[in-house]
Chain A
Amino acid sequence: MTLSLLGTSTIAVPHIDYSAIGPELVMIVGALVLLTVAALVGKNLARRFSTLFTVLVGVVSLLASLKIWFNVTGAHHVAFSAVDGAVVDDGFSAVILMLVSIAVIFVGASSEGYLSGQSIRSPEFSVLMMLSASGAMLMGSANDLIVMFLGLEIMSIALYVLAGSDLRKNKSGEAALKYFILGGFSSAIFLYGIALVYGSTGSTNLAGIAQFLATTLIIHQGVLLAGLGLMIVGFAFKVGLVPFHTWAPDVYQGSPTPATSFMAAVAKAGGFAGFLRVVFSTMGTLKLDWEPIIWVLAVITLVVGSIMAIVQRDIKRMLAYSSISHAGFILVGLVAATASGIAGSLYYLFAYLFMVVGSFTIVGAIGGSDDLEDYRGLIYTRPFLATGLGVLLLAQSGIPFTTGFWAKFEVVSAAVDAHSYAIALIAMVSAVIGAFFYLRVVVFMVTAKTKAQVSDSVGEEQDVSVGAQLVPSSGVEGGLVGGGPEYGGDPTYSLAVPSESGRSDEVDTDLDDSGVPERIPVGFGVGLVVSLCVGFTVLFGLWASPIVDLATKAKLVP
């Protein structure tokens, strides 16, 4: 094993350190094994086999990633490059490998409900997920632009198919096509950027490029900067930065929810891994050139993402815009352009993964039309999911004692440390705008359904006019009724009696009569994933040091 990051110049087949690319191999082999087994067994494939197998592969790959992590961060260990300088194993890539593995485990476990609901037994969904994950992992540990492009394409092509995997829904096909066409363009642009960079530096190896830039004075930088710019566009598309975000809402909305969840977590992790590595580490010497571009991208992403989210009625579209705004936050760490900024971005990705996978898992479990109206009174009908979603949404808005808060704190403090006060303020103000739409969902969840809506949902024709008259059901202001179905008549001493207690009692009784929908049990996989995501978000929000230290230790090596 060589410590040189440059790689040798012989043409001979390079020595391949398989453990250095362990997680990627686990994913690819896992996908191939599952595909083969499924092809051999055919229709007799056990119902839960694919999902259980995916979770298993995810766990093995997580262990392989942890091994790399301890290899590169231990006392006597340093980052190293392997496979002839094509991949690099440093703390940063190890964290990305872990993140992607965790995403595979979580989405694998939670996709069970969706797959059995659609009575899908074939393993394509799981296979594609694992292949896509291997691509994202490759992006995270690529030390060569060609390898990074390969990773990008492996990840993306599998994602295009995943987006279209719901054959029963037209929207799914539409999402896939949109994602594919725009993604194809962006890949081409990215590739052209690589070509220009190669043309002006003579290398595709990241370490080689960094060394060339550090030692050479380029007088006419045009081609190099154009190449960098095009690569930034490619990355910006993958991670969904404004103005390259237009695919995101449609694709998030149209894709089957587990695919959305996977896409949101993994495409961001892989995309940002490459983005941060190339821009910050490899092109660090060109900081003065890229920093303004990143600044502008971050600002418009933050603002547009959070403002557009406000007007959405579809929860998946809303979460799509919210994830765009999160991408803006992650970019704030890059604007700071310091080691602590990158650590902040990495922490953000970590926290984001749990929040977003948890949220989409819940959205998937709730199902329905994903319209916000479906979430009205959810706390009474599905308290577990509603509570989980409430916690995760508040965490995403940056409430203290959650990882979401520390994530925002890390990137914003890095920006302040780098004296970028303006972007720190813009980011925090957009967090307030963001809080509005997260709260809107929470308001819907804690607002009781009116009688009209309940009788609507149970399909009975009752005295609708009473309910309609009581509650003008409009957005945030909906809910004039003093209480939900559960606080009925109030015989005991009370300071909390609503001013119109007589009326609300009436509604309460009616609600009981017409039958509040029964509580629907939550599947085991979904329950586990939601508990883990919520648990992580709150536990490490209270006990912040471990993950903060992890992100700080995860250094990028050029």
Chain B
Amino acid sequence: MSTPISSYSSTFGFPILTVLVLLPAIAGAVVAVLPKRFGSVARSIAMSTSLGTLGLAVAMLVSFKSNTPGYQFFAKHLWVANFGISWELGVDGISLFLVVLTALVFPIVIGGSGVSTPEGLKSYMSWMLLLEGACMGCFLSLDIFVFFLFFEATLVPAYFLISRWGTGRRAFAATKFFLYTFLGSVFFFVAILIVAFDAKASTGHLSFDLITLSSGHFLSSGAAKWLFLAFTLAFAVKAPIFPFHTWSPDAYSSAPAGGSVVLAGVMAKLGTYGIIRFDLSLFPQAASVLAPLLLTLGVSGILYGAIVAAVQKDLKKVVAYSSLSHIGFIIMGLFAMSPQGLDGAVLQMINHGIIVAGLFLLIAMIARRRGTWNLTELSGLQKAAPVLAGVFTLVMLASVGLPGLNGFIGEFLILLGTFITHRWWAVVAGGGVILSVVYMLWAYQQAFHSKPQGDNAKVSDMALKEKLVMAPLIILIVFIGIYPKPILDRVTPTVNSLVHQVRTASHQPSEESR
């Protein structure tokens, strides 16, 4: 079965998806080679580019046809003819909001980050823009090979962002992050080649096109299982899924604020997105067979992340482990193999991006005032900074899944979807919801309640610029929480067709185990 390409291709007079990838990337390269004396305009270039990208992404969102499965704004050009590698972009219900999320997070990070002297600023902005281009490339590529290129390419900017502008053991954290992810990708890389060359044996020509490769099932079921695992390993490290997460607390806490936001808000989604996009469509049968394994890892992540988060003294690490817990929910939703679960997973990817970005931004604001984000040194901030405390409360409640805020919708759909197909996993995961309330409230209590001591009494409240940075996130948290229909209308058709595809493939094993 082939994933249809919607006949509705583009209302724009130009290849909008290509521009979405190349605009930030080219701007990044331009900023990088800018002479030093123009360093001060780097931020304006970066800001206007990322806002332009956001504008384009919103334009795409508006003209995206809802209630339609299949890829829209599809574009394909041969790139390296010798190996059948093509520049093939398309967006569907699954990637649509991730693209918008990416386009939203980067201007926030760029606008909110401060690296003071011109040259540091210039390289910082350049890496940020390159990272945005690479992330866009990942979410939009339908050629597995090009996806892999972008997937790997995200490492370099992220590495430099952590190692040059990070804090604490930043060089260690950056190197650990790079090597972990690189190692995970190695198996992915070889597996991609095996998939493509295997298909070549049947079709006669080499192609990395996802649509071609997933249309026929070229693999024997035994091989498919191994390849599925190889793909999943790369995504599991990137996401990160328990127990492949050990790089992430180090990287999240050592990265500069902007880096943490991007790492957890956008780059973590590359892993979960990769699972939906590639694992489920290339190896539907293997995915169904191995679903219990992944569900177990997901549930373990939910519980482990929540428990470990509860004992952290480093506020950034609390968020890092809570993020692990949330990714566990997403994984559970993905492998529930039900429309509700997958719907919830896609929604939760967006929610998690928004929430975790908000949390890291708020921590950065605390750090700016107090010079630390260690919970033992924070107390009673609520007294001096009530607005900050209020915003923190809202984002935190969204994170723990309070009804009426966005986190609830995602978690609810995931638990529902999992309960339908894999009851016991859902029951255990429900415990994670309770635990998440525990660690978040504890952390909040320590930082904001009680009597302010020392410098904690003298902190200033949120400035206008900070409010502006947080505003879009707050609006989205509330909006999605109250009215998720516009999103679900666009996500569900694609999800339904994918679930149908997976179910068909897994119920007719004879069809593919040649």
Contacts and interface: CB of A to CB of B under 8 A. Distances in A.
B112 interface: yes
Contacts of A425: 186-187, 190
Contacts of A489: 116
B163 A443 contact: yes
A155 to B, nearest CB: 32
A492 B114 contact: yes
Interface string A7-33: 000000000000000000000000000
Nearest to A502: B371
B183 interface: yes
B119 interface: yes
B128 to A, nearest CB: 11
Interface residues of B, number: 62
A331 to B, nearest CB: 17
B460 to A, nearest CB: 12
Contacts of A401: 149, 153
A435 B179 contact: yes
Contacts of A439: 159, 175, 178-179
B256 interface: yes
Contacts of A431: 182, 186
Given A446-B164, A495-B256, A544-B79, A436 B120 contact: no
Contact of A549 (B82, B165, B200): B82
Interface stretch (B91-99, B166-174, B266-274, B391-399): B166-174
A246 to B, nearest CB: 28
Which among B115, B178, B373 has the highest number of chain A CB atoms within 10 Å?
B115
Given A413-B193, A549-B82, A490 B116 contact: yes
Interface string A193-224: 00000000000000000000000000000000
Interface in A451-509: 476-480, 482-484, 486-502
A498 B169 CA distance: 11
B113 A494 contact: yes
B150 A412 contact: no
A552 to B, nearest CB: 6
Interface string B361-372: 100110110011
B265 interface: no
A545 B86 CA distance: 11
A399 interface: yes
Contacts of A552: 82
Contacts of A447: 163, 171
Contacts of A417: 193, 197, 200
B90 interface: no
Interface in A405-419: 405, 412-413, 416-417
B352 to A, nearest CB: 20
Size bracket, chain A contacts: 35 or more
B179 A400 contact: no
A405 B148 CA distance: 12
B193 A495 contact: no
Contacts of B152: 399-400, 405
A425 B183 CA distance: 11
A440 B175 CA distance: 8
Given A489-B116, A548-B80, A435 B182 contact: yes
A496 B258 contact: yes
B463 interface: yes
Contact of B165 (A483, A488, A500): A483
Contacts, number: 157
Contact of A545 (B80, B114, B372, B463): B80
A484 B164 contact: yes
A424 interface: yes
B160 interface: yes
A482 B169 CA distance: 10
B434 interface: no
Contacts of A120: none
B117 interface: yes
B346 interface: no
A492 B81 contact: no
Which among A436, A482, A490, A497 has the highest number of chain B CB atoms within 10 Å?
A497
B175 A436 contact: yes
Contacts of B258: 495-496
A498 B258 CA distance: 12
A443 B463 contact: no
A545 B81 contact: yes
A552 B179 CA distance: 32
B115 A496 contact: yes
A496 B82 contact: no
A182 interface: no
A315 interface: no
Interface string B463-475: 1011000000000
A399 B156 contact: yes
Contact of A499 (B150, B167, B361): B167
Contacts of A500: 167, 371
Given A394-B156, A413-B193, A544-B79, A432 B165 contact: no
A225 interface: no
B412 interface: no
A486 B119 contact: yes
Contacts of B361: 495
Nearest to A418: B197
A463 to B, nearest CB: 23
A436 B172 CA distance: 11
Contacts of B168: 480, 499
A433 to B, nearest CB: 9
B189 interface: yes
B185 to A, nearest CB: 9
B120 to A, nearest CB: 4
Interface string B338-371: 0000000000000000000000010011011001
Nearest to A496: B256
B38 interface: no
A421 interface: yes
B241 to A, nearest CB: 19
B194 interface: yes
A498 B168 CA distance: 8
B483 interface: no
Contacts of B175: 436, 439-440, 443, 476
Contacts of B165: 483, 496
B83 interface: yes
Given A412-B190, A496-B257, A487 B117 contact: yes
A366 interface: no
Which among A431, A480, A496 has the highest number of chain B CB atoms within 10 Å?
A496
Contacts of B83: 413, 548
Contacts of B82: 545, 548-549, 552
Contacts of A191: none
Nearest to B259: A496
Contact of B257 (A428, A482, A495): A495
A3 interface: no
A179 B112 CA distance: 57
16 contacts: A399-B152, A413-B193, A416-B197, A424-B190, A425-B186, A432-B182, A436-B179, A447-B171, A495-B257, A495-B361, A495-B365, A495-B368, A496-B113, A496-B124, A497-B114, A549-B82
Given A428-B190, A499-B374, 15 more contacts: A399-B152, A413-B83, A416-B190, A416-B193, A425-B187, A435-B178, A435-B182, A439-B178, A443-B171, A479-B170, A493-B463, A493-B465, A493-B466, A495-B114, A499-B167
The 10 closest A-B pairs by CB, nearest first: A494-B114, A495-B257, A400-B149, A428-B186, A496-B256, A416-B193, A495-B364, A498-B167, A487-B120, A400-B152
